[in-house]
Structure 1
Amino acid sequence: MRFHSFAIAALVAISEATTPDVLHRNKARQNATTASERLGLEWLGGNSSLPKVLILFTGGTISGGSIYGALDDTQYGQLSITGETIISRNPYLLNHTQLAVSNWTTDGNGSTGTNDALVMNMTRFAHDALCSPDSDIDGAVFTHGTNSLEETAFLMDLLVNCGKPVVGAGAMRPWTHLSFDGDANFFDSVMLAASPESRNRGALVAFNARILSAFWVTKLHSTNPDAFWSTAGGDLGIFINSLPVFFNSPSQSLWKHEFSIAHVSNHSTYPALPKVDILYAAREFDGKLVLDTRANGADGVVIAGTGNGGIPNGSAQIKEALDSGLQIVVGTRSPYGPSSPSVKPSYAKSGFLHVIQARIMLQLAIASGMGMNETIGLFEGRFRTAIGQEWTPGR
């Protein structure tokens, strides 16, 4: 693996030969006065007065190329470029910012699209870099494959909450394509992370010249460059001349819960998150699938229900699963609209959260020690207050 984490950094320091260069670097980190020095970040750009933006590089289509020519945008991946190469492709970046690259790519051990532990380690690293008392960093950008960019963006939105922007960047076309969108998306993301106007808005996604909230963002098109949209809340702004223009003053979702990264990291699944599966409901839905997730080690399950969070069949099996300790959240398979609270709930309804985001929220709830009733309150509390449908466990 080639990714940074505190434990791995320590192991590397121990295993490296004690050359003068290594001893000098270790001593410099021990005497560090800033997060940049302590984390060993090397800044590109000669103007120390410019904003510092940390690049968390995980690869993705933005770094992928094709051997099949400039028209291929489906079979790529045989070629790759580094974060430093992406920066070098746009000479304007270092006229506006200082950039440091932290690599989170892996060799044969999964990616940010498949590995919760890797994403959590990167999120902890970002939290330390941005939110520690010695932080000298203004914001961060993480590159990501678009298939699961929304998952990492949502996770960071709930865990990195010190006001500094974290921005997701990606591409729908490989860098070998004749109309590669990655360079523009990356530049916009860096400008967004560097902008003081981005503060206190939570995590963000910059895609196709649009500014989106990480809390609401989802991928609605599998191949189009304008792939990402908001399931609720709308766009936060746009890019004009590759600079961010916001529509409103800073605010965040009323539905958002800020979790303690330290508390979540104390869970037994560390460095990963509790296992939560997703099931898709349709006519003849088999409730035994819920029990199967429990038997397979799941702590929770999110069901993409029909319509306003309906489940066609399986109520007996769902009750059995709940009695066994499985936590259940039911959303809607519809791309827009809520899964509304039940009058007397036995499991949580996801409200306006997409099932992908609901899975991450449930993982964090379980890792934070919440039981089913607390999880119901987490997902439904503000919704119930808004519609005058208060609920107290046991009544």
Structure 2
Amino acid sequence: MPTMRFYRFAIAALVAFSEATSPALLHQNTARQNVTTSSQRLGLQWLGGNSTLPKVLVLFTGGTISGGSIYGALDDTQYGQLSINGEQIIARNPYLLNHTQLAVSNWTSEDFSTGTNDALVMNMTRFAHDALCSEDSDIDGAIFTHGTNSLEETAFLMDLLVNCGKPIVGIGSMRPWTHLSFDGDANFFDAVMLAASPESRNRGVLVAFNARILSGFWVTKLHSTNPDAFWSTAGGDLGIFINSLPVFFNSPSQPLHKHVFSIDQVSTHSTYPSLPKVDILYAARGFDGKLVLDAHANGADGVVIAGTGNGGIPSGSDEIKEALDQGLQVVVGTRSPYGPSSPARTPSYAKSGFLHVIQARIQLQLAIASGMGMNQTIDLFEGKFRTAIGQEWTPKQ
């Protein structure tokens, strides 16, 4: 794993300082006691000269939005040789600082890749929670840039862990900044306007992409190359951008099946800052149940199976039962892009409901990190769904 190189203020937010013993450290501690806002405490440097404008934190993890190509303005598949940082992206659009104050927090790794590992993303999520949700917060919202390959994973994770009402907006681009039709500048501007808007509060994590506003809970990437790559597996769009300003379709609401986890509790798990290991298996005719046992033997605490149809598993039930008896937690979703994986009348493992298998994996990781057993995980995934369809279930004691 590449060594993480964070800015000084990111490190200051995550590392516990020992008791000061020297005059210099005593002076620093006294200075920290005089800090009045989270911006000052975290060492954020705000760009823009108008202190009355909304403050939007930019969590920068790179991605295609920061990548460029040496192969010319038509290349949108072989890029990555060139890179720009968050401040350079902001400088490309002088209109940004007419509307907001921006501070960049860098969460890239040495190879300037996106935040594609759990440890980096969890640390960034804790930083965002501290910056936005602490009692001394003076920040109105945040955006995070991200590689589109795993943007939906970070959006869903943050949606379940950061819930103080302030907007967090995920964005990226499908084309490099050297392309003749770079989509990143527009997506970035839209995201900042969305994060700064009071209308965005209490809607959970949002995603701004291709002039559309999507829920971070339901969003998934459905196209590998098209600029209109992101859609919702349920619920539909929340709004659109007109003249790069957000226009919502409905008043603020949250998904009915959403469970809010305690970031402090999750952070006490032995795997932190990583999350418990959960693998995804894809079911088809002739599914080999031994793969479930192999995942457990390889250190997995849980497995999510992309089942057929309404969450079916064609074969391998004996091996799955054996794995459950050994303590592995199992969630079964559907390999279909839309529709639910519905509960069984008498469950031995959880069905994912309307959650896509990618989101189901993250929710299972958080459930395990929160100390939930298999029966609690079943209730987590299925409880409200079962109530809605009149199919209640009580586990045997």
Instruction: Look up the match of 1:151.
Output: 153
Asked whether 1:51 is paired with 2:54, we answer yes
Q: What's the CA shift for 1:29? A: 3.7
Instruction: Look up the match of 2:106.
Output: 103
Q: What's the CA shift for 1:12? A: 11
Counterpart secondary structure, 1:361:
helix
Instruction: Look up the match of 2:38.
Output: 35
User: 289, 292, 296: which is aligned to 1:294?
Assistant: 296
Instruction: Look up the match of 1:270.
Output: 272
Alignment of 1:160-239 (within 5 A): 160-239=162-241
Alignment of 1:315-334 (within 5 A): 315-334=317-336
Instruction: Look up the match of 2:70.
Output: 67
Aligned residues: percent identity? 84
- Could you tell me which runs of 5 or more consecutive residues in structure 2 were left unpaired when the two chains were aligned: none
Asked whether 1:93 is paired with 2:93, we answer no
- The 1:268/1:160 distance shift into structure 2, 3 A limit, reads same
Q: Is the 8 A contact 2:62 2:112 kept in 1?
A: no
Q: Is the 8 A contact 1:124 1:261 kept in 2?
A: yes
User: 127, 135, 138: which is aligned to 1:136?
Assistant: 138
Deviations 1:229-280 (A, max 9, x none): 0000000000000000000000010010000000000101111100000000
Asked whether 1:351 is paired with 2:350, we answer no
Cα distance in 2 between the residues matched to 1:225 and 1:81: 20
Counterpart secondary structure, 1:316:
helix
In structure 1, give the amino acid aligned to 2:280: I
Cα distance in 2 between the residues matched to 1:150 and 1:46: 34
Deviations 1:338-379 (A, max 9, x none): 000000000000000000000000000000000000000000
Q: Could you tell me the TM-score, scaled by structure 1's length? A: 0.95
Counterpart secondary structure, 1:330:
strand
Instruction: Look up the match of 1:242.
Output: 244
In structure 1, give the amino acid aligned to 2:369: A
Cα distance in 2 between the residues matched to 1:104 and 1:217: 22
In structure 2, give the amino acid aligned to 1:92: Y
Counterpart secondary structure, 2:270:
coil
| Number of equivalent positions | 390
Counterpart secondary structure, 1:205:
strand
Deviations 1:275-303 (A, max 9, x none): 00000000110000000000000000000
User: 366, 369, 374: which is aligned to 2:368?
Assistant: 366
Cα distance in 1 between the residues matched to 2:71 and 2:16: 39
Q: Is the 8 A contact 1:5 1:121 kept in 2?
A: no
Counterpart secondary structure, 2:89:
helix
- The 1:192/1:7 distance shift into structure 2, 3 A limit, reads closer
- Could you tell me which runs of 5 or more consecutive residues in structure 1 were left unpaired when the two chains were aligned: none
Q: What's the CA shift for 1:394? A: 1.4
User: 108, 111, 115: which is aligned to 1:112?
Assistant: 115
- The 1:355/1:184 distance shift into structure 2, 3 A limit, reads same
In structure 2, give the amino acid aligned to 1:42: Q
Q: What's the CA shift for 1:2? A: 1.9
Q: What's the CA shift for 1:112? A: 1.2
Counterpart secondary structure, 2:6:
coil
Deviations 1:86-144 (A, max 9, x none): 0000000000000000000011597412x100000000000000000000000000000
Cα distance in 1 between the residues matched to 2:185 and 2:199: 22
Q: Is the 8 A contact 1:29 1:40 kept in 2?
A: no
- The 1:288/1:217 distance shift into structure 2, 3 A limit, reads same
Instruction: Look up the match of 2:287.
Output: 285
Instruction: Look up the match of 2:341.
Output: 339
Cα distance in 2 between the residues matched to 1:220 and 1:72: 21
Instruction: Look up the match of 2:395.
Output: 393
Q: Is the 8 A contact 2:277 2:365 kept in 1?
A: yes
Q: Is the 8 A contact 2:300 2:328 kept in 1?
A: yes
